[in-house]
Amino acid sequence: MARPAGHQPVKASGTYRIGGDLLVDRLGYGSMRLAGPGVWDMPKDPAEAIRLLRRAVDLGVTFIDTADSYGPFVCELLIKEALHPYAEDLVIASKAGVVRGGPDDWKLLGLPKYLRQQCELSLRHLGLDCIPLHQLQRIDPTVPLDDQLGELVQLQQEGKIRHIGLSEVTVEQIEAAQKITPIATVQNLYNLTTRGAEPVLEYCERNDLGFVPWHPIATGDLARPGGPLEAASTEYGATPAQLALAWLLRRSPVMLPIPGTSSVAHLEENVASAEVQLTDDKFEALTQAS
């Protein structure tokens, strides 16, 4: 699918090569919020979800994050319906390792045969022969890490996965994983006011791993009226959500924010953050204020 001509603000976010070879624009899109309430079943307005995904690509998004567990499979199917055949520069990242029992019900399941099944289903639902980035959504402590990552390595050797990523891990877990297979990205909770993953981010910087912060706007808390960025918003001439994302992009060259929304208006607001340039002084002021 060819990209339409027009202004693409995402291009101002800079680029990063996942795994050293997959070039993406750093500001991406996270699809989780396209599913229904509790990240379960179809959205109330599937046509709007399709329109949003197409608008994201129009605005220059080249990195879309999803998972088999979102819906489950709802977001992958929406992505396929909206964007297949995919633009040559579009990188889709999926995940497996969690089983769903209903709305807001998430349980770890890292059995190798389950990971294989979910990867095969993701390939089918996305309409792909190979998933560019496949992430272990969580490490299941009841299953040896060698077995969990070993199955992903086998799928990689079969040509069904290009790069392997991790989610919600410590530095020690990344190091253990790296002894089994090269890790391309790490996806942890991180935003302007929640920085517990700072040691993981610093490890990613030292080792050139992509760092994908989930909840980059703290599920909207950073953008709410009276929130920690409201005062700065007027001063900087940008919305609180834009400041939260601009801060992430300024924080590290390996940062790949994936703000999610089900609103086209919010999508357009979010991607405009790539054009918000924070000076050193403004970056430090936001860091300290939050």
- Which residues carry out catalysis? 70
Those residues whose C-beta lies under 8 Å from the C-beta of residue 108, and which sit 6 or more positions away, are 97, 98, 99, 138, 139, 140, 141, 142
> CA 259, CA 65: separation in Å to the nearest integer?
10
Report the distance separating Cα 246 and Cα 278, nearest Å.
7
Residue type, 6: G
Residue 71's contacts (CB-CB under 8 Å, 6 or more residues apart) are: 35, 36, 39, 40, 41, 42, 77
Closest CA to 274 of 21, 7, 1, 5: 7
Residue partners of 198: CB distance under 8 A and separation at least 6: 190
Distance CA 278, CA 242 (A): 11
**Residue type at 129?**
D
Tokens, residue 28: 């991406």
Q: How far apart are CA 263 and CA 265, in angstroms?
A: 5
Amino acid at 277: Q
Q: Nearest to residue 20, comparing CAs of 149, 188, 132, 173?
A: 132
Task: Please name which of 249, 205, 258, 287 lies closest in space to residue 66, comparing C-alpha atoms.
Answer: 258
CA distance 167 to 65: 12
